[in-house]
Structure 1
Amino acid sequence: MNPTHQLFAQLRELPQVEAIALGGSRASGLHDARSDYDVYLYCTEPIAEETRRTLLARYCSAMEIGNHYWECEDNCTFRDGVDLDLLHRDLDGFAADVRRVVEEHKASLGYTTCMWHNLRTCEVVFDRHGRLTALQRRFDVPYPSALRDSIVRANMPLLHGALPAYDAQIHKAAARGDLVSVNHRVTAFLASYFDVLFAVNGMTHPGEKRQLSVAERDCRVLPTDFRPCFDALFASMFTDAAMLDDTIARLARNLSICVEQAG
């Protein structure tokens, strides 16, 4: 039995553990031998850090227990050198987050449907009372048109049009040579851009990795000059303010046309 399966067998013995799911490339089948493990531990109450440390020490050569940089995580490396991210989630809280998006149509500025995507695509490896599987069934629904519209309304004005829109902020940052601010504002622009793009295509957001390739592979509607615009963006971000302005404008304009065409 490989160490991952051994770890799963140990985790399921903890009374607080309601469900265990595998996410990322290991769940999608797109992994290689060095791909890390994204494991989601859905609990009814927190597991003591010392309990987690003792259990993980049996299989891991390096451990950071209780990191809170993003979610509550134990970041580890198996003895064979493969990384493990063990994320601890409250099942009720997770369900409420997904409900707010799918059923209440609450949009964020970027990455709105990531948790829904995670639920839909994860591999459930343990489900004590069937609650996680029941959530998958509950939220296995067509993409709500009201959610699509909510994401577009929340994010499109910040690409261009609103007083604090990202395109104007990027222009100001580039004009004063503030490259850190350019990077920060372009990142925010792209977060909203891809949130809209995936929404108008009725796709849940796959997360921060491989967004370009996922869009090119799976989107039924893509903005004009999609890849050339991104090539120009990354070529000009820190070197050519005029080209950066033009490219940001093209990205926003072409996405707006795409939204209109998608209906």
Structure 2
Amino acid sequence: MNKVNVEDLFRDISKCNQVEAIALGGSRVSGKYDDKSDYDVYVYVKENIPKGSRMNILSKYCCKMEIENHYWEVEDNCTLNSNTDIDIIYRNIEDFDLTIGNIVQKNIANNGYTTCLWNNLNTCKVLYDKDGKLEKLKRKYNIIYPDKLRHNIISKNRKLLNGVLPSYDMQIKKAIERNDKVSINHRVTEFLASYFDIIFAINKVSHPGEKRLIQQCIDLCEILPMDFEENLKDLFENMFNEDCNIIIEEIVKNLDKIIEQ
């Protein structure tokens, strides 16, 4: 499918009365896409578009369709006739405003990935905006990274790394003692989610998402922990043995040095 056909798809979606705006995100906007990159499309609505209406539109452009998935947000996950995947995410525009406000105005931190949606809003390319509501949101939240948000992200996620009873390092240690590889993998993943959230917060950089995080840190962050790449390489190579505990201690120690700066 060529560019004109994709634009035709977006145009057809925009004709639905419920649609307020459409935006493109991810690597297709940043220019860092490759042959395996999909389209990340965000459709902002005032109310839900009927499932049948979406299916009628998408069937003209897609060879595979999964309509109304709810794994993360409300999504239609499809494959275009060109065999390129496209994920269409539907968001109530008023609810989305409240969600971003909780992060940027109320400074509420999450367990990892705190500022991803804020980054998504700031970096998306607006393709359609019926009454200018999406552009208004972009202007509203195009602000300097709040110091309180930075503090709250670091404080909440740092405690999860070690130092409290449910901290990830203790959970990883127990999982290694049990040789529970599934649990090790899960806890290390959560450890890294908080670790990267802290690094982006230290640098007052909104979180760019889950892909290519090591390179994203190198490209976007002026302040990185000592031995940043080496520590992560060692972690991945020793994740399922007792050396993992020592490496995690080193990762946290190096992270603390830049938190204290």
**Would you say same fold, with TM above 0.5?**
yes
Render the CA deviation track for 1:161-186: whole Å, top value 9, x for unaligned.
11111111111110111111101110
Q: Deviation string for 1:129-171 (max 9, x for gaps)? A: 0010011011111110000000011110110111111111111
Q: Is 1:71 the counterpart of 2:73 in the alignment?
A: yes
1:1-263 alignment runs, 5 A limit = 2-238=4-240, 240-241=241-242, 243-261=243-261
* Distance in 1 between residues matched to 2:61 and 2:201, nearest whole Å: 40
Task: Give the drift of 1:27.
Answer: 1.2
2:88 aligned counterpart, secondary structure = strand
Task: Give secondary structure in 1 for the equivalent of 2:97.
Answer: helix
Secondary structure in 1 aligned to 2:22?
A: strand
- 1:14 and 1:27 map into 2 onto residues whose CA distance is 24
Q: 1:57 to 1:98 in 2, by over 3 A?
A: same
Q: Quote the Cα distance in structure 1 between the aligned partners of 2:181 and 2:35.
A: 37
AA matched with 2:147: S
Following superposition, the deviation at residue 28 of structure 1 comes to 1.1
Question: In the TM superposition, what whole-angstrom CA distance separates every residue of 1:40-78 from its partner, at most 9, and x where no partner exists?
Answer: 000000011011001000000000000011110000011
Give the Cα separation in 2 of the matches to 1:155 and 1:234: 21
How many Å apart are 1:29 and its aligned residue?
1.5
Please state how far the C-alpha of 1:253 moved relative to its aligned partner: 1.2
Consecutive unaligned residues in structure 1, runs of 5 or more? none
SS of the equivalent of 1:35 reads coil
CA-based RMSD: 0.9
Q: Deviations over 1:190-243 (max 9, x none)?
A: 0110111100000000111111110012111000110110010000012x21x1
Residues 182 and 34 (structure 1), Cα distance of their counterparts in 2 relative to 1, 3 Å cut: closer
Q: Secondary structure at the match of 2:43?
A: strand
The secondary structure found in structure 2 opposite 1:73 is: strand
Q: Distance in 1 between matches of 2:161 and 2:169?
A: 6
Deviation of residue 33 (structure 1)? Answer: 4.3
The superposition leaves residues 74-125 of structure 1 with CA deviations (integer Å, 9 ceiling, x where unpaired) of: 0001101101100000000111100000011000000000000000000000
Describe the SS at the equivalent of 1:140.
Answer: coil
Percent of aligned positions that are identical: 46
Structure 1 window deviating more from structure 2 (32-41 vs 229-238): it is: 32-41
Q: Give the structure-2-normalised TM-score.
A: 0.97
Distance (Å, rounded) in 2 between the aligned partners of 1:132 and 1:208: 24
Residue 34 of structure 1 and its aligned partner are, at CA, apart by: 4.1
Q: Shift of residue 2 of structure 1? A: 2.2
Question: Counterparts of 1:65 and 1:28 in 2: how far apart (Å)?
Answer: 27
Residue identity opposite 1:259 in structure 2: I
Shift of 1:32: 2.9
Partners of 1:2 and 1:57 in 2: CA distance: 17
Amino acid at match of 1:252: V
Aligned partner of residue 74 in structure 1, secondary structure? strand
Distance 1:71 1:18 in 2: 17
Counterpart residue type for residue 8 of structure 1 = F
Where in structure 2 are there 5+ consecutive unaligned residues?
none
> For 2:169 and 2:258, how far apart are their aligned partners in 1?
18
**How many Å separate the matches in 2 of 1:182 and 1:225?**
23
